């Protein structure tokens, strides 16, 4: 069974390939692009083929049974 992991977005969004690299699911940008092109990544339950899809708070990414929930950075200073 999958476990949901939160990911805090610093700014308005993060691109899908950047997320895959930051979480070490991809070793490089080229590797991240290949994972997306092969249809191995889902965004909000649907296969996502846009490598530079903009992920915003509330979005959920799935890769190899890992669920990542996008969350907004706290605005409290």
Residue 1 has pLDDT above 70, yes or no: no
pLDDT at 5: 94
Q: Which residue has the higher pLDDT, 10 or 3?
A: 10
Q: What total number of domains does the chain contain?
A: 1
Tell me whether residue 77 is in a domain. Answer: no
Q: What global pTM score does this model have?
A: 0.89
CATH number at residue 53: 3.10.290.10
Whole-number CA gyration radius for the chain:
12
Please give the C-alpha separations between residue 7 and each of 14, 30, 37, in angstroms, as whole numbers. Answer: 10, 22, 23
Q: Is residue 57, in this structure, part of any structural domain at all?
A: yes
Domain span at 34: 4-72
**71 DSSP β-pair partners:** 8
The shares of helix, strand and coil residues in the chain, as percent rounded to the nearest 5, are 20, 35, 45
Place of tokens 């610093």: 10
When pLDDT is cut at 50, 70 and 90, the band that residue 36 belongs to is very high
Nearest in space to 65 (alpha carbons), one of 41, 47, 46, 49: 41
């Amino acid at each position: 069974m999958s476990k949901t992991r939160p990911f805090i977005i610093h700014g308005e969004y993060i691109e899908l390939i950047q997320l895959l690299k930051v979480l070490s699911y991809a070793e490089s940008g080229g590797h991240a692009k290949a994972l997306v092109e092969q249809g191995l990544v889902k965004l909000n339950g649907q296969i996502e083929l846009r490598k530079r899809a903009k992920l915003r708070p509330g979005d959920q990414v799935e890769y190899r049974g890992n669920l990542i929930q996008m969350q907004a950075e706290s605005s409290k200073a």
